[in-house]
Amino acid sequence: MVAFVELDGVGMTFRGRTGAYEAVRDFNLELSEGEFFCLLGTSGCGKTTVMNMLAGFDTPTSGQIRLEGKPVRGPGADRGVVFQGHDSLYDWLTARDNIAFGLRLRGMGRGERRAIADRFLNMVGLKGQGDKHPSELSGGMKQRIQIARALANDPRMLLMDEPFGALDAMTRAVLQGELSRIWSENRKTVLFITHDIEEACALATRVGVMKRGPGGTLKAVVPIDLPFPRERTSDAFMASFRQVHELIHAEIHPHA
Amino acid sequence: MHSRAATIIGYVLGFALLFVIWHLASRYLVSSVLFPSPFPVFERGWVLLEEGLLQESVWASMRRIIQGFLLGSAIGIPIGLAIGSFRPVRLLLEPWTEFFRFIPAVAMITVAVIWFGIGEESKIFLIAYTTVFVVVIATAAGVGAVGKDKVRAAQCLGANKFQVFALVALPATVPYILTGMRLAMANAFVTIVAAELVASNDGLGKMLWDARLFMQVEDIFVALISLGLLGFATDRVFRLLIRAFAGRFNPTM
């Protein structure tokens, strides 16, 4: 049986004026359909590079990436992306038109677009905010719009690059809860990039810990076998947190 | 509403103060027939309005500005978009813009008159010339400044190259285009006066020149004030346009 997503000996070496930089080396991972995989690593470990290759923004210099058995070549509507900053939203469109952007690209009619966009506005808790422009929304609301925009396009999987990284701690916790609820409802396959251990343990069905860069690669994969919604103060959660923490700690303080 | 009222009052008071200082200066500082007080200037302006001469000159100049400006923008925007979007086009055309933008329109007046005569064509050519390069550079810069994530987001929502251009790059560039056009409009005012001073049968520049010949100092001042007011009004219109199309998502403009 073919895995839903396969990263097969993937490597990425950037060549610049200052020489070559090997960001990712021999990265192997298989994702099954419907799982929420968090890729956790310190800054500069290459986790965003992995996501960019899966999204099709960068082409691996070695190895191959396959989605449902087909090699990934360039970006496509089967992989929805939620970006870290909200610079990816279209400032000249309303929240609703941002969410419906992918549907418009497919030539869907206005009425149908509107109905779908409103459904996803409700899903991300922004009912009645559809006529506002991004500049009128808070940072947390903008990330909700990004999530709704990616989901409204009904991709095969979702790629999220530290989507809550720029938010304050309170908003971040709220959005983590919302994302967990949405995922529990639709069970889309998710690859979620983060450097926040608690975030990874709260959201993921499996957490992949990366080695330090350069030449970042997967160090270990930890299954988090806890029911949703997760109780962050429970002993079981703490145990998972400790387990992941020890793995990542060795990468932060390699000589300790 | 409060702040809008304050803005208008500020402008009215500002202009009033300008005329007060002008009056005092002409009365006590430089009392000379060559520097009239605002009152005879206003009187003269009123007479010219009643005779319809002022409107005629204003319209002659504005018509040329608008025609040349629209022509220049219509040429400049697509070229700017092409330069910003396609590297070969940029490599090919950038030397042109970098070369021509240092040859001021004023220096082109002589060629324009030789080629097109002293009628409308030469003025429209000069205004279009002075507009084109500013608009090209602003538009190309706008295309280059489109956020990488905006393009990527469209690509992974399924956009093809044309859709990325038409639905992302183009709307994201509109504020830059409008800003370039606003700057070009200021250039157009400089150019039209210079062109009409040198070779024209009507317009505000011609009015200035004739007034100098016949020592009608009031007429000179009427023409100068008209230019100031026209430029002020046009710039307001542009600021409103920029706000309507772009201010919503770019409060700095």
Query: Cβ of A153 and B154 within 8 Å?
Result: no
What is the C-alpha separation between A54 and A161, in angstroms, rounded? Answer: 12
Q: Tens of pLDDT along A47-86?
A: 999 999 999 999 999 999 999 999 999 999 999 999 988 7
HSE-up of residue B74 (Cα within 13 Å, Cβ side): 8
Query: Cβ of A55 and B149 within 8 Å?
Result: no
- SS3 state at B121: helix
Taking only Cα atoms into account, the Rg of chain A, rounded to an integer number of angstroms, comes to 18
Give, to the nearest 10 degrees, the angle between helix B87-100 and helix B53-85. Answer: 140
Per-residue model confidence (pLDDT) at position B248: 54
Q: Are A99 and A55 in contact (CB under 8 A)?
A: no
Per-residue model confidence (pLDDT) at position A66: 94
Q: Are B192 and B130 in contact (CB under 8 A)?
A: no
User: Given B149, B157, B172, which is nearest A83 (Cβ)?
Assistant: B149
Contacting residues for B145 by C-beta, under 8 A, at least 6 apart: B172, B176
Asked if A83 has any chain B CB less than 8 Å from its own CB, the reply is yes
What is the C-alpha separation between A240 and A38, in angstroms, rounded? Answer: 13
Asked if A131 has any chain B CB less than 8 Å from its own CB, the reply is no
Can you read off the two tokens belonging to residue B180? Answer: 């370039």
Q: Tell me the shortest Cα–Cα distance from A153 to chain B, in angstroms.
A: 7
What is the C-alpha separation between A149 and A86, in angstroms, rounded? Answer: 12
One digit per residue, the tens of pLDDT, for chain B of length 253 reads 568 888 889 989 998 999 899 999 888 888 777 888 888 889 999 998 999 889 999 999 999 999 999 999 999 999 999 999 888 999 999 888 889 888 999 899 989 989 998 888 999 999 999 999 999 999 999 999 898 999 999 999 999 999 999 999 999 998 899 999 999 999 999 899 988 888 888 899 999 999 988 888 899 999 999 999 999 999 988 888 887 776 555 544 3
Q: Are A145 and A124 in contact (CB under 8 A)?
A: yes
Query: Cβ of A135 and B171 within 8 Å?
Result: no
Counting Cβ atoms within 10 Å, is residue A3 exposed (0-12), middle (13-18) or buried (19+)? middle
Cβ contacts (< 8 Å) between B157 and chain A: which residues?
77, 80, 101-102, 105, 149-150, 153
Nearest chain A residue to B243 by CA: give it. Answer: A92
Q: Tens of pLDDT along A153-193?
A: 999 999 999 999 888 888 899 899 989 999 999 999 999 99
Cβ contacts (< 8 Å) between B174 and chain A: which residues?
92
Residue A20 has phi, psi (to 5 degrees) of -90, 145
Per-residue model confidence (pLDDT) at position A106: 92
Per-residue model confidence (pLDDT) at position B65: 94
- SS3 state at A189: strand
Q: Tens of pLDDT along A101-137?
A: 999 999 999 999 999 999 999 988 888 899 999 988 9
Span between the terminal Cα atoms of chain B, in Å: 20
Cβ contacts (< 8 Å) between A166 and chain B: which residues?
none
Query: Cβ of B168 and A90 within 8 Å?
Result: yes
HSE-up of residue B28 (Cα within 13 Å, Cβ side): 4
pLDDT of residue A256 exceeding 60: no
Q: Tens of pLDDT along A77-97?
A: 999 999 988 789 999 999 999
Mean pLDDT of A4-11: 93
Rounded alpha-carbon distances, angstroms, from residue B126 to A33, A38, B46, B72, B230: 65, 61, 31, 9, 19
Compute the Cα dihedral for B168, B172, B174, B177 and give only its sign.
Answer: negative
Q: What is the DSSP letter of A75?
A: -
* Model confidence band, residue A43 (pLDDT cutoffs 50, 70, 90): confident
Concatenating the DSSP letter of every residue in A137-156 gives S-HHHHHHHHHHHHHHT--S
Per-residue model confidence (pLDDT) at position B251: 40
